[in-house]
Structure 1
Amino acid sequence: MKKTKQSGSCFDQTLPVKLSRRAGRHVLCRLTDKELPYYSSNGEYRHRIPKKLPSDYTRKGDGEKIKRGELHKAAPKAEPPQAGAFKLRDNPPNTLFRKLYERGDLPLQVLHSSSKNSLTWKVDIRKLDYHHYLPIFFDGIREKEEPYRFIAVKGVEDLLKAGQGKILSVIPQLIIPIKTALNTRDLAVINITLQLMCKLVESEEMVGHSLVPYYRQLLPILNIFKNNVPNMGDTIDYAQQKQICTGELVNRVLELFESHGGEDAFINIKYMVPTYESCVTG
């Protein structure tokens, strides 16, 4: 994954990014003829392995050398190439949120205090145009550099908390930013996105119903990371309060989708995530 070098200061302009770089872009797996599987003479479907040279065959007395590890190890079993479903995808710093923040078009500033940082809005947040600002802040949740990440995430939380009655009509504009953040396959970005999706569903009464038509855009990535739960054994997970377990966050989002999505939510979730079990009907 390409990394764009930045200056490290929030007061400097971000270096330009090539137009060909798109967040979450899918890279096709291109295989040559030598890498493609084939049918053997006995009708078996096999994957190609490197041919042995005459010097690679074992000779008399090599058994003891193999036991002692003096000879090369046996060639690994031929397996199909990896699909790369969990592989990180490109996440260039070209969000609209970053551009507007550096240009000074966002009516806020960071308030630094001894306990924790917060945002100070220069205007009444309830009078903001949610059709304009809420998609911009959701576009910035895939940022990983500071202060862009903190401002985008905290800005979304403040807007959802104070936007009663204004969020439902903006839902169609939030689908692409959320989908782009999930498509980066970056667990740090995915965890933040899932937490904000939970707050989005709980922000208004009918938001869960309005998200049902967009399950085909949002749930494929959740299906991939649904079982991403580390096996702790008999140890204690002291980081549980930080909500960094992707599998648990996915299950929580799916449960909120079902409980707030109405009667058609479960069948649509089950279509995209076949291993999901209902939390309502039991």
Structure 2
Amino acid sequence: MPRYALKIEYDGRPFVGWQRQPDLPGVQAAVERAIAKLDPVGPEITGAGRTDAGVHATEQVAHVDLSRDWDPYRLGQAINAHLRPHPVAVVAVGPVSDDFHARFSAMERRYLFRLVSRGSPLVHDRGFAWRVRHELDVEAMREGAAFLIGKHDFTAFRSSLCQAKSPVKTLDEIRIVESDYAGGVEFRFYLRARSFLHNQVRSIVGTLERVGSGAWEPERVGAALASRDRAQCGPVSPPDGLYLTGVDYPENPFAASNGAWPGEGGV
């Protein structure tokens, strides 16, 4: 059975998360129902990461085994036709080898979190960014973030429901970019790691927001990490501003199209 990699983007607001759940709207189930219209086997798909309810993706990656060969472009367009009206789209398809696994073959995952500081409620970005009313000190947040870079036991920054076998992870980067935003300031948190724990990114951002507000000293982030105590972590930020933005593999599964449909620019 030929295997295909799918690059998928979605608005997470209508869904309970990526993972298929009985009688609840999951992104995985929506894509599987669309593919079932095309393939009599009714195949299951496997994603690179299990995003939570309300979390978005610009580059989730999944793989699927089909009963016949497809032209990648036609397969993507056929899936998209059956995905309507869900806010989900397949943006690239690539044929891959039988040993490619969207989750276990991944070498790196990247997340973006958008945080907006302004007095007025968000309108166009409502549900797509976390808004706080107070000002934030970006340099203090960067100082606090530095304690988290590298290999650590992140017990304090993971959900009590996390099913990972080990809390030890290596966080390769936290980069915080400040930019103008109408009536305020936007802060973008870029995080890179091979893998993340459940709620790890949202716990990190929620903690750094406390530092930026002045409620925490930057050094308290290091103390919370060292405590290995969930109660010492800052609050978990809402899912609104979180996006899965990329998954890297030893070889690019979308190299043939450079991640783009015919007639579009490459990524």
Q: Give the TM-score range, shorter chain.
A: under 0.3
Larger Rg: 1
Normalized per residue, which structure has more helix?
Answer: 1
TM-score, structure 1 as length reference: 0.22
Normalized per residue, which structure has more strand?
Answer: 2
TM-score, structure 2 as length reference: 0.23
Choose between structure 1 and 2 for higher RCO, CA contacts under 8 A separated by at least 6 residues. 2
